[in-house]
Amino acid sequence: MANPLLAFLQLYRPLSEEDQALIAADFEPRTYREGETLFKGGRTCQEMFFVTNGVLRILATNEKGIDVTHFFTKENQFCTILHSFNNQTPANESIQAACDADVLSITRTRLLALYEKIPYMKELIDQILQQRLLDKIQTRNAYLGEDSVSRYKLFIRQQPDIALRVALKDIASYLGITPQSLSRIRKNIK
């Protein structure tokens, strides 16, 4: 079976067979069950993940001790706590499997070594991460000023594949509403 990471990267630029082998060797496949934590906040993030199957969620615990979902990451997307990963500072956020997920994982040390072996990789990964960050900002900004019903309808339109795969409590958390309110909204718009 073709490596999904290599296929994804080749959408941006051709990769030689030698470069493909180097990249594939540095990314380790892992499987997580729904609810398992890939990275726990409070530490410095040392890994980057590429989602090959499933959905991950980036979350933080608020001052009331409630987990709040910030973003969802799905297939063919990289996931890390970028500020912590790049600057080697502790992160407030965590990464958790929102449903069963398969990822390819690389440590920061291995990624930096890969950049030494394949110099164009840094620019390529940075470009992909920057575009993903802009997409996240655009998605979150679309919810600003909207009421809860409008936010849910927008979520269903923009991210229908995620809506079908993650727990309703995680969707409610992402949209900034209670699970009970989300249940009422879903019942009323069907």
pLDDT for position 1: 46
**Could you give the number of structural domains in the chain?**
1
pLDDT tens by residue, 18-41: 999 999 999 999 999 999 999 999
Note the pTM of the prediction, 2 decimals. 0.92
pLDDT tens by residue, 36-60: 999 999 999 999 999 999 999 999 9
pLDDT tens by residue, 84-114: 999 999 999 999 999 999 999 999 999 999 9
The domain that holds 41 is classified in CATH as: 2.60.120.10
Query: How far apart are alpha carbons 17 and 170 in whole angstroms?
Result: 40
User: By residue range, what is the domain housing residue 170?
Assistant: 4-121+128-189
Contact call for residues 32 and 51 (beta carbons, < 8 A): no
The number of helix segments (H) and strand segments (E) in the chain equals 9, 8
Q: How far is CA 15 from CA 87, 126, 153, in A?
A: 28, 17, 40
pLDDT for position 190: 64
